[in-house]
Amino acid sequence: MTSQLDPNVMAKVTSWLNGDYDIDTKQSIQQLIDEANDTELTDAFYKDLEFGTGGLRGLIGIGSNRMNRYTVGTATQGLANYLNKAFPNEEKKVAIAYDSRIKSDEFAKIIAEIFSANGITVYLFEALRPTPELSFAIRLLGCKSGVVVTASHNPKEYNGYKAYWDDGSQVVAPHDTNIIGEVNAIKSIDDVKFDGDSSKIHKIGAEVDEKYMDHILSLSISKDAIARQKDLKIVYTPLHGTGVTLVPTLLGKMGFEAVTVIEEQAEPKGNGQFPTVVYPNPEESEAMSKAVARAKEIDADLVLGTDPDADRVGIAVKNHHGEIQLLNGNQTASVLIYYLLNAWKDAGKLTGTQFVCKTIVTTDLIDKMAAAYDVKCYNTLTGFKYIAQVIREKEGVEQFIGGGEESYGYLIGDAVRDKDAIASCAMIAELTAYAKDKGLSLFDMLMEIYKQFGFYYEGLISLTKKGKSGADEIQQMMADFRANPPKTLAGSPVIRMDDYKALTTVDFTSGTTHSIPSGEMGIEPSNVLQFFTEDGTKFTCRPSGTEPKIKFYVGVRAALERNEDFDSVYDSLKEKVKGIGEELGLK
């Protein structure tokens, strides 16, 4: 053993060499020892890959701090133990899905074996499927839990594991911390039951696909407009992910006849290499570049791009200059919610008990629109599991129309309890057809929204602070903002501060402090600060929970009187956001 290793790392490495691990794993560890690769050994073994509130995510490889059969196995055994305790006298069923990443199919099979070895019935998708379909399957099949193997849009070297509860949403309190406790209680790999019971593992596939697509088709509002605009030109890229299994078929079922799929990005291969993109993330213009280029060639009306597990969608449309322009998550969420609100109103379905839901860092334009339609808008912490929590708490009392978050995740209807790029692709295509049927582009619709409700613009300032010193710096920045709140932003007085860690709202105008209700409605203590100004600016400080970053969300607004003023108003709002970042020294 190399003498340079930390004693704790050496102890962990020795336990893997001497423990009940497979020969390939031990040989790989020994090779790193022989090469004196202390850096890799340390990174692979200095800690256990943490099972957080959302599950696991990490680099694929050997070691306790990597995604491999043993870390995945430990997580699954902990979840199985909790399920057996939580539902002692009930039949327990789980559903499992996986994406196109490296080892996703292998990990899914290991998870299925372990659940079955613990007496739990397993429904395992026969091939890769989107994350939202996993959520749908949990509810359809009456499962107590579910797991999807994915690292969303992370680089190809990563994989992950997301745990779901019986309502189809990602686990929330108290189940999240209880599961973490069970996972941490497993001290030996010998406690993991890898030898499965094949009689308890059932393959699922086409029959669930059909019911899922039937559900999405039932959400359609403007079938006549689609029929008239069946030649709407749509370009779709699945970015080498699971969306290819459903999106093209679904658009065809809706009646769209001019769908172009980017073929070089349509073959997942199951190897997770993502060969044509740097990051398989539809939020990145580079990832969408092939689809945008194709759209320009064929003069397309709409571009759709889904991430590897198909829970997020990015879009591009023709702007007011006739150019293909990517929309951000706030803009897409806004046109989606606007379309749904109008459709529900036109159908006479708005009775005062409907609601939409979004996160606190998503555009306040949605709040403004909802109020105009006498529809409640609930705001939750960042993370779609909190939106799902509100849907669950309001079930049977109020009716969910739709919701979303600025990070390109949206949901229509409540049969799925996670962001759903499959249903979103369908609805975005439909609303584009609806707009074109009225002689408008989707971008025209967005400008109409801005003229009616105000031009809302959101900017994101993201600062990376690596290592312990970076983490300390982030904590100090938050402490400074709490101790010394900004008095003004872009010249407008700050009139309110919401502190989600203390769960208090401070009204600077009256000098009063109020409590923020916690424990329900998607709110719990979280290290987030928000400041609101007299002119409607919103400034949010939020350290990332998964990356060494602190994010600052800046939302500003202005009036838009005419379409011709769009560019000048846009430029002034963009400059305002930039100026706020500079005056606060965010660099």
Catalytic residues: 152
Place of tokens 């679904």: 250
Structure tokens at 312: 């997020």
Alpha helices in 502-565, H assignment, sequence order: none
Q: Report the C-alpha dihedral over residues 446, 447, 448, 449, rounded to 10 degrees.
A: 50
Q: Which residues pair with 96 in a beta bridge?
A: 124, 147
Q: Would you tell me how many other CB atoms lie within 10 Å of the CB of residue 525?
A: 14
3-state secondary structure 370-437: HHHCCCEEEEECCCHHHHHHHHHHHCCCCEEEEEEECCCEEEECCCCCCCCHHHHHHHHHHHHHHHHH
Closest CA to 416 of 221, 150, 146: 146
Structure tokens at 400: 């969910």
Query: If you ran DSSP here, which 8-state letter would residue 19 be given?
Result: S
Sheet containing 313-318: order of strands: 259-261, 234-237, 302-306, 313-318, 324-326
Say if CB 377 and CB 386 are below 8 A apart.
Answer: no
Burial bucket for residue 50 (CB in 10 Å: 0-12, 13-18, 19+): middle
Query: If you ran DSSP here, which 8-state letter would residue 63 be given?
Result: S
| R_g (Cα) of the chain, nearest Å | 24
Structure tokens at 251: 């658009």
